[in-house]
């Protein structure tokens, strides 16, 4: 299988920006460190798209998608990803302890036939 292309949903980009801004307010430069750790996680995910904890949810099963969570090193966040065709979609950058599965609605955007 060729290496997939990375694609971030607009809302995932917004989440990244908000998280980095939050960390920079806490400590200048910490937001950039978060972004570096996130990029490292995504590089690893592109090389190994089947790595990460598989997420089970009724809607995911209905769509026949493979959704995984990958932890962002040194931070309490995870990248929620799905491989569809030749793209690795970043559905969300989610806090590990808040609002589980809030990003499920985003799956419709990669649903086959849409």
pTM: 0.87
Q: Where are the beta strands (DSSP E) in the chain?
A: 5-8, 53-54, 66-71, 77-84, 87-95
In this prediction, residue 22 carries a pLDDT of 97
Q: Is the distance from CB of 28 to CB of 16 less than 8 angstroms? A: no
Strands 87-95 and 5-8, bridge-based pairing? parallel
In this prediction, residue 59 carries a pLDDT of 85
In this prediction, residue 11 carries a pLDDT of 94
Q: Is the distance from CB of 5 to CB of 87 less than 8 angstroms? A: yes
In this prediction, residue 1 carries a pLDDT of 59
pLDDT in tens, the chain (114 residues): 577 889 999 999 999 999 999 999 999 999 999 999 999 999 999 998 888 999 988 888 888 888 999 999 999 999 999 888 888 999 999 999 988 889 988 887 765 443
Residue 114 and residue 112: Cα distance in Å, rounded? 6
Q: What b/e sequence results for 36-62 when a residue is b if at least 16 CB atoms lie within 10 Å of its CB, and e otherwise?
A: ebbeebbeebeeebeebeebeeeebee
SS3 95: strand
């Amino acid at each position: 299988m060729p290496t997939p292309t990375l694609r971030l949903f607009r809302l995932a980009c917004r989440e990244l920006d908000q998280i980095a801004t939050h960390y920079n307010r806490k400590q200048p430069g910490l937001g950039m460190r978060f972004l570096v750790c996130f990029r490292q996680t995504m590089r690893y995910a592109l090389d190994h798209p089947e790595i990460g904890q598989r997420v089970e949810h009724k809607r995911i099963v209905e769509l026949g998608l493979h959704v995984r969570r990958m932890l962002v090193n040194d931070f309490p966040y995870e990248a929620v990803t799905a491989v569809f065709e030749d793209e690795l979609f970043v559905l969300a950058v989610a806090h590990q302890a808040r609002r589980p599965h809030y990003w499920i609605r985003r799956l419709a955007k990669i649903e086959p036939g849409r």
